[in-house]
Amino acid sequence: MITQILLQVNGESRRCATGTPLPELLKQLGLNPRLVAVEYNGEILHKQFWDITVIQEGDILEVVTIVGGG
């Protein structure tokens, strides 16, 4: 049985499966993990910690897309 948890992403309520790692959540949201920055519960989360970050009930994420240009 897959249990769903509730979290917030950019101010919107979302659901995901219990135990979802952050990179998987980003993919589910249609985001390219190489092109985003993530604030996780009020702290900028460095990419070296993404693989070990598992989404928990009530987490609050702000995801910002990095745009290049000139």
Domain CATH code at residue 37: 3.10.20.30
Q: pLDDT tens, 3-36?
A: 999 999 999 999 999 999 999 999 999 999 889 9
Q: Do the domain assignments include residue 70? A: no
Q: Kindly report the average pLDDT of the chain as a whole number.
A: 93
| Domain boundaries, position 51 | 4-65
Give just the sign of the alpha carbon dihedral 6, 20, 62, 28.
Answer: negative
| Distance (Å, whole) CA 66 – CA 3 | 32
DSSP states of 14-55: EEEETT-BHHHHHHHTT--GGGEEEEETTEE--GGGGGG-B-
3-state DSSP call for residue 65? strand
Domain tally, the chain: 1
Local structure of residue 3 (DSSP, 8 states) = P
Residue 28 lies inside a defined structural domain of this protein: yes
pTM, entire model: 0.88
